[in-house]
Amino acid sequence: MHLILFFMFAGFCLAGAVNLLLQSHPINSALSLIVVMTSLAVLYLLLGAEFLAAAQVIVYAGAIMVLFTLVVMLLNAGREARTRGSLAARVVGFPAVVTILAVLATVVLHLQGMGVARASDGITSTAELGAVLFTRLLLPFEVTSVLILIAILGAVALARHGNGEEAADK
Amino acid sequence: MNSFFTQEVPLSWYLMLSAILFSLGVVGFLIKRNLITMFMSIELMLNAVNLSFVTFARQWHTVQGQIFVLFVMVVAAAEAAVGLAIIIAVFRTRATLAVDRIDLMKL
């Protein structure tokens, strides 16, 4: 069962990622990314991370991608023009991608002592996660709330109409 | 047939999937010519790294890896909000999303 689910959702993941690259319309790319993120949530569940699977669906596939699709519709983004791209991307970028993939694949294939994931393995409960988060990592956890607040203020300041100059005139 | 259903998946396969997804994200960042889709490729890379974290958390039977993913999600949410606000500001001044035409700071 584990094996079938893994192949199914790994396939969905890769198909969605490839489709993201092939589509020329941003809204199609956004929908493919939602497929990738939802499939990743199932893979998290297979690895026993139940809280992260829920957070992945709610935060990523839900909140972040809704923001993306909203911006695509708001800006009325059309098809992207196919251009050659920059010289740096072709000369440095693609060899770098091949190198990264080759190095990662070599390292992963030579890893010793990697375990296996079974369906019978226990899942990490949300209580275990919360116990660490609210005792040892309480300060970092609280600091993220400040980060979110600053991000909200920054987003409002950046996206506000008139961006300061008109407001200063009045 | 029953043994097939109870079969187990090596954790290195998850790492391999993560590596491939990350590379696809980099390729997307390089070939996409639209500001929003380039940003989506970055999100794809973040997700690929998260999968690695969860896999290693499973390997060592600790929760630290999962907590790191939680923090990455928080930072990604903040980053998406600020990034999309910047994209809206750019679109308002340049009236385009094509990165080839947003070249004011190019040498």
- What is the CATH classification number for the domain harbouring B70? 1.10.287.3510
The answer for residues whose C-beta is within 8 angstroms of residue A156's C-beta and 6 or more apart is B85
Residues A132, A116 within the same domain: no
List the single residue in B with minimal CA-CA distance to A124: B63
Q: Does residue A144 contact residue B74 with C-beta atoms inside 8 Å?
A: yes
Instruction: Tell me which chain B residues have a C-beta less than 8 angstroms from the C-beta of A150.
Output: 78
Q: How confident is the model at residue A86 (pLDDT cuts 50, 70, 90)?
A: confident
Long-range contacts of A83-90 (CB under 8 A, 24+ apart): A83/B33, A83/B98, A83/B100, A85/B30, A85/B31, A85/B33, A89/B30, A89/B31
DSSP B34: B
Per-residue confidence (pLDDT) for residue A59, from 0 to 100: 92
Residue by residue, DSSP assigns B42-63 as HHHHHHHHHHHHHHHHHHHT-S
Are residues A147 and B78, on separate chains, in Cβ contact within 8 Å? Answer: yes
Q: What tokens does A154 get?
A: 């920054």
Residues A63, A136 within the same domain: no
Q: Which of B14, B33, B79 sits opposite A47 (nearest CB)?
A: B14
Residues A34, A114 within the same domain: yes
- Whether A92 maps to a domain, the answer reads yes
Tell me the residue range of the domain where A96 lies: 1-80+88-120
Are residues B11 and A18, on separate chains, in Cβ contact within 8 Å? Answer: no
- Whether A12 maps to a domain, the answer reads yes
Confirm or reject contact between A21 and chain B (CB < 8 A): yes
| Nearest CA among A37, A43, A38, A33 for reference residue A7 | A43
- Whether A169 maps to a domain, the answer reads no
- Classified as helix, coil or strand, A25 is coil
Are residues A60 and B57, on separate chains, in Cβ contact within 8 Å? Answer: no
- Whether B106 maps to a domain, the answer reads no
Minimum distance, in Å, between the CA of residue A151 and any CA atom of chain B? 5
Residues A27, A97 within the same domain: yes
Q: pLDDT tens-digit profile of A45-79?
A: 999 889 999 999 999 998 999 999 999 998 887 77
Portion 36-55 of B in contact with A at CB < 8 A: 36-37, 39-41, 43-44, 47, 50-51, 54-55
CA distance linking residue A58 with residue A54, whole number of Å: 6
Are residues B50 and A40, on separate chains, in Cβ contact within 8 Å? Answer: yes
pLDDT over threshold 70, residue B22: yes
Q: Which of A10, A129, A151 sits opposite B63 (nearest CB)?
A: A129
Are residues B33 and A44, on separate chains, in Cβ contact within 8 Å? Answer: no
Q: Measure the CA angle with vertex B101, ends B45 and A167; round to 5°.
A: 90
CATH number for A68 = 1.20.120.1200
Residues A6, A76 within the same domain: yes
The residue among B104 and B13 whose pLDDT is bigger is: B13
ipTM: 0.89
pLDDT over threshold 80, residue A164: no
Sign of CA dihedral B11, A46, B56, A66: positive
pLDDT over threshold 60, residue A165: no
Q: What tokens does A8 get?
A: 């199914």
The residue among A69 and B4 whose pLDDT is bigger is: A69
Report pTM: 0.89
Domain count within chain A: 2
Are residues A33 and B17, on separate chains, in Cβ contact within 8 Å? Answer: no
Q: pLDDT tens-digit profile of B30-71?
A: 888 888 999 999 999 999 999 999 999 988 888 889 999 999
Confirm or reject contact between B22 and chain A (CB < 8 A): yes
Residues A57, A71 within the same domain: yes
Tell me the residue range of the domain where B25 lies: 2-101
Residues A15, A99 within the same domain: yes
Are residues B37 and A18, on separate chains, in Cβ contact within 8 Å? Answer: no
In chain B, the percentage of residues whose pLDDT exceeds 90 is 57
- Whether A42 maps to a domain, the answer reads yes
Q: Which of A10, A100, A109 sits opposite B26 (nearest CB)?
A: A100
Per-residue confidence (pLDDT) for residue B1, from 0 to 100: 46
Per-residue confidence (pLDDT) for residue B4, from 0 to 100: 55
Q: pLDDT tens-digit profile of A110-158?
A: 887 777 777 667 788 889 899 999 999 999 999 999 999 999 999 999 8
pLDDT over threshold 50, residue B105: yes
Burial B64-96 (b: 16+ CB within 10 A, else e): ebbbbbbbbbbebbbbbbbbbbbbbbbbeeeeb
Are residues A83 and B100, on separate chains, in Cβ contact within 8 Å? Answer: yes
Residues A13, A39 within the same domain: yes
Q: How confident is the model at residue A15 (pLDDT cuts 50, 70, 90)?
A: very high
Residues A99, A130 within the same domain: no
Q: What is the mean pLDDT of chain B?
A: 88
